[in-house]
Structure 1
Amino acid sequence: MIPHHEGAVRMSNNVLQFNICPALKPILYAIITTQCEGIEQMKRLLNNLDNC
């Protein structure tokens, strides 16, 4: 799942490099924020698997 979420972040950052519809920008920023949070959460969970 991590590569999938990282792809969404990369795609959103790439789209923001272009002159796009201003209504899309908040959506792209939300994708970046939430997906980065999800990536960090998944990494923490994976790092803690040894403690289960």
Structure 2
Amino acid sequence: MLENYNIANAAFMAIGASKNGRKMFDVRDLIIYQQVRQIAMLQEKIDELQHRLDAMNEN
């Protein structure tokens, strides 16, 4: 599983590539940003659930 910062770096690179030749951000950039936020939130939820499972298995 990718770490959040790796996903964020990939997103910023993608935004930079899609922004090439444009002065302002547009809908493409917003979509990329929203997808990255969703992925990061899901990863945090997975981590939380994994910690709960680990704690349950220890008891």
Q: Where has structure 1 moved over 2 Å in runs of 4 or more?
A: 8-12
Gaps of 5+ in 2: 54-59
Q: Kindly, what percent of the aligned residue pairs are identical?
A: 7
- The separation in 1 between residues aligned to 2:51 and 2:7, in whole angstroms, is 23
- The separation in 1 between residues aligned to 2:10 and 2:33, in whole angstroms, is 7
1:21 Cα deviation from its structure 2 partner: 6.2
TM-score by length of 1: 0.61
Report which of the two structures shows the higher radius of gyration computed on alpha carbons: 2
Gaps of 5+ in 1: none
Aligned residues: 49
The SS at the match of 1:41 is helix
By relative contact order (CA 8 Å, sep 6+), the higher-ranking structure is 1
TM-score by length of 2: 0.56
The yes-or-no answer on 1:45 pairing with 2:43 is no
CA root-mean-square deviation? 3.1
Q: Which residue of 2 aligns with 1:31?
A: 32
